[in-house]
């Protein structure tokens, strides 16, 4: 009694191995999220720029969060201020209050147009360092 491979169930590993690998360019077709919730052991915030640059900040030094409008967010890490300008940033503000975001991502104009209307988008991230007195 031979087993017909078409009738046998495929394991999850078989399914995954049959999928084509994603190229780095594949992510460019889909808009990147402005932020992602982290895990309890994520002690740093990863700041990701649209040009591929990255910078990390320890949540231990996050002393103040200002959200003057829905389009701006200011994070004070010691002598560094991270400024985000974009759209619908209130959900990022609320997540930052709990040290939840694993990263924040600066997006592009093209990505902003294809995101759903209620999704946050960061147009620009800047970092200003105050010189200690």
Q: Where are the domains of the chain?
A: 32-129
User: 130 φ, ψ to 5°?
Assistant: -85, 135
CB 126 within 8 A of CB 104: no
Report pLDDT for 129. Answer: 95
- pLDDT value, residue 45: 95
- pLDDT for res 121: 95
Write out pLDDT tens, residues 48-82: 999 999 999 999 999 999 999 989 999 999 999 99
Alpha helices (runs of H) in 19-104, residue ranges in sequence order = 26-29, 90-97
Confidence of residue 12 (pLDDT cuts 50, 70, 90): low
Count of Cβ atoms closer than 10 Å to residue 61 Cβ: 13
Mean pLDDT to the nearest integer, 117-129: 94
Report the C-alpha gap between 56 and 51 in whole angstroms. Answer: 16
pLDDT score, position 58: 95
More confident residue, 50 or 5: 50
d(CA 72, CA 83): 7
Q: Model pTM greater than 0.95?
A: no
3-state SS assignment for residue 117 = coil
């191995």: which residue's tokens? 17
């Amino acid at each position: 009694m031979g087993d017909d491979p078409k009738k046998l169930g495929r394991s999850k590993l078989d399914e995954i191995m049959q999928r084509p690998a994603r190229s780095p360019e594949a992510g460019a077709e889909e808009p990147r999220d402005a932020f992602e919730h982290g895990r309890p052991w994520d002690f740093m915030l990863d700041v990701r720029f649209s040009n591929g640059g990255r910078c990390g900040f320890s949540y231990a030094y996050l002393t103040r969060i200002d959200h003057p409008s829905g389009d701006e967010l200011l994070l004070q890490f010691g002598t560094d201020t991270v400024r985000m300008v974009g759209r619908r940033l209130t959900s990022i503000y609320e997540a930052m209050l709990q040290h939840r975001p694993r990263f924040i991502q600066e997006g592009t104009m093209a990505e902003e147009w294809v995101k759903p209307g209620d999704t946050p988008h960061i147009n620009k991230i800047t970092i200003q360092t105050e010189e200690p007195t």
